[in-house]
Structure 1
Amino acid sequence: MCTLLGVTVFESLYMYDYCKQDCVPYLLTIRPHDKEVVGYIREMMVDPPFPRGSCQIPNQTIVSPDWRDINAYEEAHKVLLDIFKDYPLQGTFVEVGAQDGEFFSFTLYLEQVLGFRGLLVEPHPHLYAQMRRRKRSSHSVRACASPTGVPYKDILWARTVPEDLPPIPRRIQEGSNRLLRFVPASDHDLGTLFPVQCLGITALTLAVFGVPAVDLLVISTVGGVMETVASLPRIYSYKVLVLVNKATSVTENDAMKEIEETKRMAMVYSIENIHIFISLDPIIV
C-alpha cells in the first residue's frame, strides 16, 4: 500500500492506492486541495443531501432540543441564530464532528429552518449511519477532518458505551469518539477501533461548494481542534467559526488568541467548551 508516515494516496483515475516505490516525489507534486483530490472526494466519497421535507427529526427537537442546557449549548446556539437570522443569502456551512446529525448540532436549525446548504463530516460508522437515516438536507461524508490538512489513513477510537446508560449520557459517550492518537494509552482497551480516512477541510469544501469558503465552520472533535484550524490555508475563508474544545493548557489558550490575530477574527462568545469567532473581513461565498 502506498503509505508514508501514515499518508495514503487514493486510488482513482488520477491517484494511486498502491506504490512500488517511495511516494514522497508524487506527494510533493500535489496539493491537499488539488483538483484531482477534490474530484475524487466529490465523485467517490460525498453522499448527496436528502430532499427538503424528508428530515426525520421532530420539529420540537430542531427548535428546542432536550440537551439545550448542556455545556451552554442553548446560549451559544442563540448567538449563532442572532448572527444568521436575517442573513440575506442562502448560507453555507461545514460541520466537522456532526455525530448522528441531531445531537448537539449547531447546524440543524440553520439547515431546516433558515434553508442553509451544508456538509456534515462524521467518521464513526454507526453514528454516520444514524445521520443518514435522519435524512438531513445536507451533503455528508464519512471521514475525519485531517489535523494536518493532508489526506491520510488513521485509526478512530470509539468508547464502548454501557447499554444501561440513560439516553443523553449515552449520546455524550457515543460522541466522544476520537483519533487514537488523542486517546491515553491506558484507555485504548476501553473502546473499539475503526480505520478511517482523514481529508482536508479545504478539499471537502471545494468538493461540495466549488469554492474554498463557507459562512459557518463548526469543528467539534475530541482532540486536534486547534491543529485542524491551524492547518487551514489562507485561501480558505469563513464568516463564523465555532470551536467545541475545552482549552486546558496555556498552549491551547494561546492558540485561541492566535486565531483572532492571524485569522482576523473576533471572539464573540466563549463559555465552557464552546467558542465562537466572527470574521473582521467581509467574506464572499
Structure 2
Amino acid sequence: MNTFNTVVYQTNVVMNILLLGVTAALLLRYLLFASSALLLLWVNTGCEHDCLDQYLAGPPNHTSPLLLETVREHFLTPPPSKPDNSTFQIDEPVWARLVDWNLVQESLKEIWEGQPPGVFVEVGASDGEFMSQTIMLERNLGWTGLLVEPDPRAFTILQGRRRRAWTSPLCVHNLPPCSRRYWLRDIEEDLPNHFKQLLMARSKLNDYTMQGDEERGGTIMVPCVPLSTILLAANITSIDLLTTATGVDEDETRMSDVIHSRKFDIKTLLIHFPAGRLFNEPYPRIKGYILDMGHSTLQIKIYVKHSHCQLLSNDECKKMKHYDSLEACLKYFCFNFLTVYSHKRS
C-alpha cells in the first residue's frame, strides 16, 4: 500500500509539473499574441508554424517592410471610386461654433485658398464629419489625404461618408506596434444625432479616460502603431496639414516620430488641446514650428514649420517675438501666463 501511494504521489507531481509547463507555455504564447496579434501576419493560423522564428521575435520595428505590408493590406482603405464632392458649408452644422470650430475653418480657408490642392492627415477623425478639421479643405478646396479613427463604430460611419481620402482603423501612439485597451463611450439611442456624435467623439485610449467615466462605457482592444508606420504604408511623406483631436494632452508627443523626422515634410500642424493642458501651458511650443497666433483660438492652435513660414505672409516670412503679460491679456484671456508667442516682420 505504501509503495502504491508513493507511485500515485510521484505521478501527481509529474502531472503537476507538466501542467505547470503547459500553462507557462500558453501564457508566453498569449503575451506574444496580445502584443501583436492584430498587426502581424505570422499569428494567423495558417502561418503560425511557417513563421515561428518571426513570431517568437516579437513585434517588428515600426518601419520594417513586413509591418508596412501588413498595415497596407489589412489596415488601409483607399479613397472610394465615387467620392462625395458636394460643397461643405461650415456654418450649417449645429456644432459649428463649438470650440470655435467655424473660426478655425475660416482661418484654414484664409491660409490655403487660392493655392493648389494639398494633402491632409487627420488623427482622431471620428465619423468623418463631426468637427472634422479637413472636410472643408477636401470638399471646397480639392484636398485629399488620410483619416485615422480607431473607434469601430465611428470608423464604419466614416467609410460611409465617401471621403476622398485613405482611411485607417488603427490607433496612433509613439510605442512599438501592439494592441491597447480602448474606451468606447456608451451612446444613448434616443438622443439627437449631433449629441450621439459628440458622445462618440469622447472615446479614447483607456489610459486617458477621465475618472468616473468607466461606468459610462466599455473597452475593447485596438491595434496601435506609430503614425510614421501608417504614413509610410500609405506612401505619404509630404503633408500640408497634420491635425489631431484625440482628447488627451500629449498629441504632439504622440506624433513626434513624424513631426521631428526628416523623412516627412509637414507644413502646418493643427492641434486641439484639452483645456486642462492650456491652463498650465497656454501656448505650447513645438520645436521647429512657429505658433500662428493670428489663426489660432484658445483651445485650437495652428503651427507653421519654419521652412514654410511664407504661409504666414504673402510678402515675407515672420519671426517669433514675445508679448509681455499685459499685451497677451489684452489679446486673449489671461490664464496666469507670462508670455505668448506671435510674430513680427523681420
Q: TM class, shorter-chain normalised? A: 0.7 to 0.9
Corresponding residue of 2:158: 131
TM-score, normalization by structure 1: 0.82
SS of 1:241's partner is strand
Unaligned segments of structure 2, at least 5 residues: 1-28, 310-346
Would the aligned equivalents of 2:120 and 2:145 in 1 still touch at CA under 8 Å?
yes
2-structure distance, mates of 1:138, 1:121: 10
Corresponding residue of 2:341: none
Corresponding residue of 1:197: 223
Matched, 1:238 2:238: no
Q: CA deviation at 1:81?
A: 1.2
- 1:250–1:26: structure 2 CA closer, same or farther, 3 Å change rule? same
Matched, 1:253 2:278: no
Identity percentage of aligned residues: 24
Residue 244 of structure 2 aligns to which amino acid in structure 1?
I
Q: CA deviation at 1:276?
A: 1.0
- Decide which structure has the larger Cα Rg and report it: 2
Compare the two structures and name the one with the higher helix fraction: 2
Aligned alpha-carbon RMSD (Å): 3.3
1:27-66 correspondence runs (5 A):
31-52=61-82, 54-55=83-84, 59=87, 61=89, 64-66=92-94
Would the aligned equivalents of 2:228 and 2:257 in 1 still touch at CA under 8 Å?
no
Matched, 1:117 2:147: no
1:1-285 correspondence runs (5 A):
1=29, 3=31, 7-8=35-36, 10-12=39-41, 31-52=61-82, 54-55=83-84, 59=87, 61=89, 64-88=92-116, 90-146=117-173, 148-208=174-234, 210-223=235-248, 224-232=250-258, 233-235=260-262, 236-249=264-277, 253=281, 257-259=284-286, 262-268=287-293, 269-282=295-308
Deviations 1:25-49 (A, max 9, x none): 665xx53223332222112210111
2-structure distance, mates of 1:149, 1:49: 28
SS of 1:258's partner is coil
- 1:166–1:214: structure 2 CA closer, same or farther, 3 Å change rule? same
- 1:276–1:161: structure 2 CA closer, same or farther, 3 Å change rule? same
SS of 2:176's partner is coil
2-structure distance, mates of 1:130, 1:99: 9
Q: CA deviation at 1:123?
A: 0.6
- Number of aligned residue pairs: 273
Corresponding residue of 2:17: none
SS of 2:77's partner is coil
Would the aligned equivalents of 2:226 and 2:255 in 1 still touch at CA under 8 Å?
no
2-structure distance, mates of 1:267, 1:281: 14
Residue 219 of structure 2 aligns to which amino acid in structure 1?
L
Would the aligned equivalents of 2:291 and 2:301 in 1 still touch at CA under 8 Å?
no
